[in-house]
Amino acid sequence: MFTSFDTIIDTITGAQTKFVETYVTDKKIQAELVKLTEAQAKFAKGSYQTTLSIAEAVFKTTNDAVQSQVKKATTKKETV
């Protein structure tokens, strides 16, 4: 079964946050580390979405090109 990368990122972020809340006793440092963890998660999700968009565009373009070539080859074969 496929798990969304967003879910994986959220799981890791939750574990990092829980670690910080458990082992960092200074509340000011704790708050800053939680902010850092959230910023890292936001960046990772954005990077994932960008990569996914690029991959989808490449797939669509490649698929369209292949279908076009197959259609041309089939048309030539029928006219010969």
- Within 10 angstroms of residue 40's Cβ, the number of other Cβ atoms is 14
Distance CA 17, CA 33 (A): 8
Q: Give me the pLDDT at residue 1, please.
A: 46
Q: Give me the pLDDT at residue 23, please.
A: 97
> Mean pLDDT, to the nearest integer, of 64-80?
82
Q: Enter the pTM of the model.
A: 0.73
Over residues 10-33, the pLDDT tens digits come to: 999 999 999 999 999 999 999 999
Angle at 49 between CA 46 and CA 51, to 5 degrees: 110
